Chain A
């Protein structure tokens, strides 16, 4: 049976609505940067002698808990079931994206161990260049965008590349690590994996899926891949269990890192949905600056190094941030948005997704109303509360077992950065609720 082409062009999303969605997307991109930057801080514990694979596995376990409990708390799992009814094929892309994330995250742990947080960050943030490439090639992003916007995005991308190069040179010349080249390779490979991970993201959001539904399946691939890696490279189940038992005092901190990452990733997903991956990824890559702040201010990285090294690292980071800013200011025009809709039509035709569902998802409206189905009950079910209570109980139990790592931390800086993150959380959450009700 041939599926009729969804008519997404008429009526189009009104320009005022489009502008609001873009503002929300930009805000979410910056919020993602703040939270994703903070999430990498616990990986500093690798230097305390814990295997990178165990660190990554524990972060993923935290991510798994957060990714099932947060959506249950915010939206209820009933909404997730409605999304899967409409587009079951996206389960495959969710799992694939999760596998990509798990491998990339493990590579970043090796990178941080070998070249340090403040240097590794900008290297894997070259994922934004790849995101622009995939966005253009596969999803019609930046098509018919006009010369100015092309120049802004490409110029921004070149600035980011220049910044990353400066930082790479600084790392190879100054890093105290035994294997700087291995660290650089690990960071760059992570960037490629993360840049490609946005292909499934964009596919899901063009089709209309809610980010909170997508991430639930994402996390299955993530935990499955990470558990496989940990078992394969960790010497089998007995050896892995032994390592986990030895790390019990820092389990909480690593899983907390995963939890913080999920909040940042949620914002990143909304950014990818409303402003596309070619703009959303560079914005969320401001996490590099937050990583730099955590590394230098809280953990004392680069302490005692030469002023010229500081100038290189800060200059390179600012260059990358300027590039990201330029890309962010490249607003999506009506013509370009029409090309997005063509890509969405293509997805709808290919997989037989209801046109109303696709259109409602693109405009951040209630999907159930759009497809003529009764609204899914917005209240929480017993399953939702069970998920929230179980996740909370696990975190409290691990917190009781936890011991603060014996590292020198700058507590005033830590508190200040935490307050800044909470401000972003409040602002992004409020904007999403007002404009989309998390649709």
Chain B
């Protein structure tokens, strides 16, 4: 992995979208990326804000 700050940051972001592999940090190896997404999508803390966001967009569309 490149040792540039930007490259490191990108690799951490990529950890959310790729299954392991070279250059992907292993700090969260207990949960591979696909498992992280499973946790996120089954987390009520994710759906509550998402539903409220959709409702807010509907209100904005209506009043603008």
Contact = CB atoms under 8 A, between A and B. Distances in A.
Real binding pair: yes
Nearest to B64: A233
Interface in B24-64: 25, 27-28, 30-31, 36, 39-40, 43-46, 48-50, 52-53, 55-57, 59-60, 63-64
B64 A110 contact: yes
B6 interface: yes
Given A138-B45, A197-B49, A352-B28, A104 B56 contact: yes
A351 B25 CA distance: 15
Nearest to B28: A352
A193 B13 CA distance: 26
Interface stretch (A83-91, A159-167, A241-249, A283-291): A83-91
Given A88-B15, A352-B31, A77 B56 contact: no
Interface stretch (A95-103, A396-404, A431-439): A95-103
Given A88-B12, A193-B53, A110 B63 contact: yes
A381 B5 CA distance: 9
A88 B9 CA distance: 10
A86 B27 contact: yes
Interface string A175-197: 00000001001100110110011
B40 to A, nearest CB: 6
A311 interface: no
Interface residues of A, number: 48
B25 to A, nearest CB: 6
Contacts of B39: 89, 350-351
Contacts of A107: 56, 59-60, 63
A95 to B, nearest CB: 11
B48 to A, nearest CB: 6
A107 B56 CA distance: 9
Nearest to B43: A350
Contacts of B16: 88-89, 91-92
A417 to B, nearest CB: 30
Mostly helix, strand, loop or mixed at chain B's interface? helix
A84 B48 contact: no
Interface in A100-131: 100, 103-104, 106-107, 110
B63 A186 contact: yes
A62 to B, nearest CB: 21
A303 to B, nearest CB: 28
B53 A103 contact: yes
B5 A100 contact: no
A267 interface: no
A84 B12 contact: yes
Contact of A103 (B9, B45, B57): B57
Interface of A: 1, 3, 52-53, 77-78, 80-81, 84-86, 88-89, 91-93, 96-97, 99-100, 103-104, 106-107, 110, 134, 138, 182, 185-186, 189-190, 192-193, 196-197, 199-200, 203, 229, 233, 350-354, 381, 383
**Chain A to chain B: the 6 pairs with minimum beta-carbon distance, closest first:** A352-B30, A196-B52, A189-B59, A352-B31, A103-B56, A193-B56
19 contacts: A53-B64, A84-B9, A85-B12, A88-B36, A89-B16, A99-B53, A100-B53, A103-B57, A107-B59, A110-B60, A138-B45, A138-B48, A182-B63, A185-B59, A189-B56, A193-B53, A199-B45, A352-B28, A352-B31
Interface of B: 5-6, 8-9, 12-13, 15-16, 25, 27-28, 30-31, 36, 39-40, 43-46, 48-50, 52-53, 55-57, 59-60, 63-64
